[in-house]
Chains A and B, each alone.
Chain A
């Protein structure tokens, strides 16, 4: 069964550094997403991406964040200058359109620790 993969599984970085989190969505999916989950808190939507453009973003997704689909397979989330409060699990998801529904399939996550 096809699945979303994410690398690395765990990233440790120092405050102020840039990090890039990588995702390989399911191959025939056209919609891509990033969510995050701070330890013990809810899963929060960050951004959705379709046709090489951001289609929706939350208040969390400020100028510090950017997304890119650099080639036909990868989907990345860049955090420009990390802060302690960026420590969280980051989940990538992808979906296709089934009728008028968009069920999203999530990857296993990248645990980001900012020290």
Chain B
């Protein structure tokens, strides 16, 4: 599975959009981009995933560049409860194992 690179930490003001970047320059055609988050030692929580098109659900939007070498997770109106570690994971379609790296620690500031 392709390696991902994320900033170690980010801050975001409450109510503003949080934009979390992820580089996955070695991604191949059969690999999805997934985003999970973990709030203080709770179980990882699925947020969103995509292959090549932009995706949106009730939690977030996922923007994938045309060359698929990077993506951005957007939380449109960050709240204090969005403070968490966010993981960008690239995984081959047929594999089941998710590799959790160190992620981005997002702190939402009042």
**Which of A14-22, A69-77, A99-107 forms part of the interface with chain B?**
A99-107
Which residues 84-110 of A have a CB within 8 angstroms of B?
89, 91, 93, 95, 100-109
Interface string of A38-72 (1 = CB under 8 A from B): 00001111001010000110100000000000000
A-B contact count (CB 8 A): 54
Contact B34 A103 (CB under 8 A): yes
Contact A104 B95 (CB under 8 A): no
Contact B46 A103 (CB under 8 A): yes
For chain B, give the interface size range: 20 to 34
Chain A's nearest CB lies how many Å from the CB of B93? 5
Partner of A33, one of B46, B96, B100: B96
In the assembly, what is the distance between CA of A58 and CA of B45, in Å? 21
Chain A's nearest CB lies how many Å from the CB of B100? 4
Partner of B101, one of A42, A58, A105: A42
Contact B97 A58 (CB under 8 A): yes
Chain B interface helix/strand/loop/mixed = loop
In the assembly, what is the distance between CA of A107 and CA of B45, in Å? 9
In the assembly, what is the distance between CA of A107 and CA of B97, in Å? 16
Interface-central residue, A56, A93, A106, A109, by most chain B CB under 10 Å: A106
Query: What residue in chain B is nearest A55 (Cβ atoms)?
Result: B96
Taking A89-B41, A108-B42 as contacts, is the C-beta distance between A43 and B100 under 8 angstroms? Answer: yes
Chain A's nearest CB lies how many Å from the CB of B96? 4
Enumerate chain A residues within 8 angstroms of B44, measured Cβ to Cβ: 35, 43, 91, 93, 106
Contact B93 A100 (CB under 8 A): yes
Contact B102 A105 (CB under 8 A): no
A-B residue pairs, 5 tightest by C-beta? A106-B43, A43-B100, A48-B96, A45-B97, A106-B44
Residues of B at the A interface (CB closer than 8 Å) are 32, 34, 38, 41-46, 49, 87, 93, 95-102
Task: Provide a sorted-by-A list of 17 A–B residue pairs whose CB atoms are within 8 angstroms.
Answer: A33-B96, A35-B44, A45-B98, A50-B96, A56-B95, A56-B96, A56-B97, A91-B44, A93-B44, A95-B96, A100-B93, A101-B32, A101-B49, A103-B49, A107-B43, A108-B43, A109-B42
